[in-house]
Amino acid sequence: MTLLGMDLGGTKLAVALFDEQGKPLHREHIPLGNRGGREVGGLITGSLKTLLGSQKYGAIESIGIAVPGIYHAANGRVWAPNISGWDDYPLLDEVEKVTGRTPVVIDSDRACYILGESWQGNAKGCRDAIYMAVGTGIGAGILTAGNVLRGASDIAGAIGWMALKKPFSDAYVSCGCFEHYASGDGIARTTLVVLREMSSYTGRLRDIPPAELSARQVFTAYSNNDPVAKEVIRLCVEFWGMAAANLVSLFNPGKIIFGGGLFGPATPLIPNIRQEAAKWAQPVSMRQVSFEPSALGNDAGVFGAAFLALKNAGFNQSL
């Protein structure tokens, strides 16, 4: 059985074929370039047509697609903020024009990340698992009893909005409290605050124009023992630990997988995050959960999309 997984990102479309054991048979990356709206839809349907027409890797029996935003399962439409014209894009309708009788299933990238990790990554076989994606923004893909948590309108897992520090500040309005402090952009914001407070500091971060300060530069400074970077990372570990603790207490998961652009450089901090979480979380759940980095990295999306396809084809329904 050949499965097709697609992971649409803001800059490229990743495509991969797998057998039903999760062995990759073929991979490709197609840059989006300046495409938007229906051109991006055309890129997807064009690639599907080509692959469905080829028998090189066996007949494709099921298709899964990950999208960078929200997938509305009831009407097959997609909201993807980083693709122009995809406020309410009818992706399922477009795709089904070229897929004929081959079944297609779509879900959010976050959902696919945790499905991928639970199929072939660091949450293998785990039916209650959470993928905490920390990059420019923060979100989570959540599996409960083997199923993706959708909520009443497909927007469950918006963990960037977690309330962790009272009282409320207007700074939280646009992205939520947790994301304000502990996303990639949040690290830059927090660094500016710590720089103001640490007036005696003369290190390299002081010389970077505020608008150019990035999480990457803070991590580089951290690895050089920079005192501002150390304080910023200490604060981030506190927020990541509190947020992870809340996921542990609420969901009682077997695994939390840390991924996204920041894990990456924050991966060696996972034991520190666990130590912070252990202070806050329900103690029995905390002893049972394990915290892991993503095993699949940038490939988690295509793996998860292929696993969606596998489940949709009626195989391996239970994880």
- Residues found near a second copy in the complex (CB under 8 A): 126-128, 140, 142, 144-145, 147, 149-168, 172, 176-177, 238-239, 242-243, 245-247, 249-254, 276, 279-282, 284-285, 288-289
Q: How far is the CB of 246 from a second copy (least distance, A)?
A: 5
**Order of strands across the sheet with 24-31?**
24-31, 12-19, 2-8, 60-67, 104-108
Q: How far is the CB of 108 from a second copy (least distance, A)?
A: 12
Q: How far is the CB of 275 from a second copy (least distance, A)?
A: 11
In the complex with a second copy, which residue's Cβ is closer, 147 or 298?
A: 147
In the complex with a second copy, which residue's Cβ is closer, 145 or 211?
A: 145
Q: How far is the CB of 140 from a second copy (least distance, A)?
A: 8
Q: How far is the CB of 273 from a second copy (least distance, A)?
A: 13
In the complex with a second copy, which residue's Cβ is closer, 59 or 163?
A: 163
Q: How far is the CB of 284 from a second copy (least distance, A)?
A: 6
| CA dist list (Å): 174 to 179, 192, 207, 247, 261 | 10, 19, 28, 22, 21
Cα–Cα dist 148/160, whole Å = 18
In the complex with a second copy, which residue's Cβ is closer, 195 or 289?
A: 289
Do the Cβ atoms of 256 and 292 come closer than 8 Å?
yes
Closest CA to 116 of 261, 275, 319: 319
In the complex with a second copy, which residue's Cβ is closer, 127 or 216?
A: 127
Element (H, E) at 269: none
Cα–Cα dist 6/309, whole Å = 10
In the complex with a second copy, which residue's Cβ is closer, 104 or 242?
A: 242
Q: How far is the CB of 163 from a second copy (least distance, A)?
A: 4
Q: Which sign, positive or negative, has the C-alpha torsion 123, 128, 134, 140?
A: positive
Cα–Cα dist 183/162, whole Å = 12
In the complex with a second copy, which residue's Cβ is closer, 223 or 275?
A: 275
Report strand pairing: 255-259 vs 129-134.
Answer: parallel
Cα–Cα dist 296/300, whole Å = 5
